[in-house]
Amino acid sequence: MGKEILNLKPESVWKHFYSLTQIPRPSGCEAASIAFIKKFGDDLGLETFVDEVGNLLIRKPATAGMENRKGIILQGHVDMVPQKNNDKVHDFEKDPIDAWIDGDWVKAKGTTLGADNGIGVAAAMAVLEAKDIKHGPVEALFTIDEETGMTGAFGLKPGFLKGDILLNLDSEDEGELYIGCAGGVNGSFTFKYSEEDVPKSHIAFKIDVKGLKGGHSGLDINLGRGNSNKILFRFLYHASQRHGLRLSSFEGGNLRNAIPREAYAIVTIPGENKDKFIKCFTKNVEKIKKELSVTEPDMSMTLVEVMTPAKLIDQKTQQSVINSVYACPNGVIRMSDSMPGLVETSTNLAITKSENGNITVKCLLRSSVDSAKDDLAAMMEALFVLAGAECSFDGAYPGWKPNPDSAILKAMKQVYHQRFGKIPEVKAIHAGLECGLIGGVYPNLDMISFGPTMRHPHSPDEKVNIPTVEMFYNFLVETLKNAPLK
């Protein structure tokens, strides 16, 4: 089925994208895709380098008469977010992506598609291979591990890149040029627990939260979507207060940069409280479904009686965890004052898990204002310290400060207007583009981020709009032809 996309235009971009769908490349497992693109560069006879962290750089000389143009770096990341529906059998480290065409969209069957950032990578490969376009000196930088830690961008060293302009091919709305992005930091909160025996009078239930849309924790955080961890712990809080609920185990979410779609818990209650407990559950589910009826019409929350577990989390730790997760900030914290409609600061309660005496809670905090990001981190640390957790923050990356006087921005606005008859929108984005980190190493780079239209990245509903891929690539080619003079 996936080979149908080879007939789409521009064929050069879809050809390379199809090849990428056949190479498993979840974050942290990019070696095969890097080797594939390296061979591609070597076979073209182009200068090809792999740095010490695993990033790949391919250089293509200027075409005749274009040697006086500023050098342009085309940049994208090779890794993809591995998310699938609960009923989908798929190993992201072994299985190819099954892409298919649905009208004007390319989707995947039950998994993420990897158009984020496979389309950008494919477009850069098409430029490297092309013999019929004019351009100045071109470099294509393919980074690793953007989705989980930006390891590739963090590992860039001065002197590796030669270009003057960086075009980040990792945005998700055609007709928009991004000139700034949010910074971020990972928050991790850990509890230790001891195990207690299950009282003889207790019966056990499994609580499941499913059917949520999920999505990108930066781009979709303002859409009011449900967070499976928050929904689960909302009920655990009320039931532990009223019905003697004891907690045995729980798990929700698996990626910091994806809004969690599913969560579950194994709990016990005194047998005599069964009817009241079920009634409480039903009422709570009705309330939550009503609150989220517009944003999460397919949400389900089920309660099934199961075998009694072997052990329970000790009572003191249980209450500390339930209270702190229930109280933990989640979603939009503040909107931007300077750019209407843009989220300034947010946090995603991404992962909760109990296992082998340890409970982990992981969040991704984002902000375009560094002091606001630091304040949010301090607020969350204060909350979890009060609850008795160990707190740590890592993987901090800077935001990308907008430059409205950018030379490449001026050129691209003119090119877009000439090509499509309208002025592109100029924006900042509430997501962690690699531009912030790359700009920290190469402070003189002039940077723009753009791409075709995609929807629902980081979820199995991810899709890319076919007509905008052609528009995006044509715009890229015209931008290369009209690069600023040195």
CATH no. for residue 28? 3.40.630.10
**Tokens 């082998």 — which residue?**
356
Asked if residue 465 belongs to a domain, the reply is: yes
Q: In what order do the strands lie in the sheet with 99-102?
A: 99-102, 105-108, 463-465, 454-455
Q: Assess whether 70 and 193 both reside in one domain.
A: no
Q: Assess whether 153 and 238 both reside in one domain.
A: no
Asked if residue 53 belongs to a domain, the reply is: yes
What confidence tens digit (pLDDT) does each residue in 128-146 have?
A: 999 999 999 999 999 999 9
Task: Write down which residue in 397, 426, 458 finishes a domain.
Answer: 397
Q: Assess whether 217 and 354 both reside in one domain.
A: yes
Distance (Å, rounded) from C-alpha 351 to C-alpha 360?
Answer: 8
Radius of gyration of the chain (CA): 24
Asked if residue 52 belongs to a domain, the reply is: yes
Cis amide prior to 465 (ω within 30 degrees): no
Q: Assess whether 389 and 464 both reside in one domain.
A: no
* Dihedral of alpha carbons 229, 230, 236, 237, sign: positive
Residue type, 21: T
79 is catalytic: yes
Domain count, the chain: 2
The number of C-alpha atoms within 13 Å of 223 and in the hemisphere containing its C-beta is 20
Backbone angles phi, psi at 119, to 5 degrees: -65, -40
Distance (Å, rounded) from C-alpha 268 to C-alpha 247?
Answer: 7
Distance (Å, rounded) from C-alpha 79 to C-alpha 199?
Answer: 47
Q: Assess whether 30 and 166 both reside in one domain.
A: yes
Asked if residue 486 belongs to a domain, the reply is: no
Q: Assess whether 195 and 99 both reside in one domain.
A: no
170-194 as b/e: b if 16+ CB within 10 A = bbbbbbbbbbbbbbbbbbbbebebe
Q: Assess whether 150 and 213 both reside in one domain.
A: no
Task: Write down which residue in 376, 397, 418 finishes a domain.
Answer: 397
Q: Assess whether 9 and 66 both reside in one domain.
A: yes
Choosing from 30, 79, 344, 446, the catalytic residue is 79
Task: Identify the CATH number of the domain in which residue 306 sits.
Answer: 3.30.70.360
Distance (Å, rounded) from C-alpha 447 to C-alpha 429?
Answer: 14
Q: For residue 265, give the 3-state DSSP assignment.
A: strand
Which pair of structure tokens corresponds to residue 22?
């056949």
Residues 6+ apart with CB under 8 A from 373: 183, 184, 185, 345, 365, 366, 367
Judge contact between 44 and 219, C-beta under 8 A: no
Choosing from 146, 164, 344, 461, the catalytic residue is 146
Task: Write down which residue in 397, 430, 457 finishes a domain.
Answer: 397
Q: Closest Cα partner for 285 from 211, 394, 364?
A: 211
Distance (Å, rounded) from C-alpha 82 to C-alpha 113?
Answer: 9
β-strands 300-306, 343-355: how paired? unpaired
Per-residue tens of pLDDT for the chain, all 486 residues: 578 999 999 999 999 999 999 999 999 999 999 999 999 999 999 999 999 999 999 999 999 999 999 999 999 999 999 999 988 999 999 999 999 999 999 999 999 999 999 999 999 999 999 999 999 999 999 999 999 889 999 999 999 999 999 999 999 999 999 999 999 999 999 999 999 999 999 999 999 999 999 999 999 999 999 999 999 999 999 999 999 999 999 999 998 999 999 999 999 999 999 999 999 999 999 999 999 999 999 999 999 999 999 999 999 999 999 999 999 999 999 999 878 889 999 999 999 999 999 999 999 999 998 899 999 999 999 999 999 999 999 988 888 988 888 999 999 999 999 999 999 999 999 988 899 999 989 999 999 999 999 999 999 999 999 999 999 999 999 999 999 999
What pLDDT is attached to residue 432? 83
Mean of all residue pLDDT scores within the chain:
96
Domain limits at 330? 185-397
Q: Assess whether 214 and 343 both reside in one domain.
A: yes
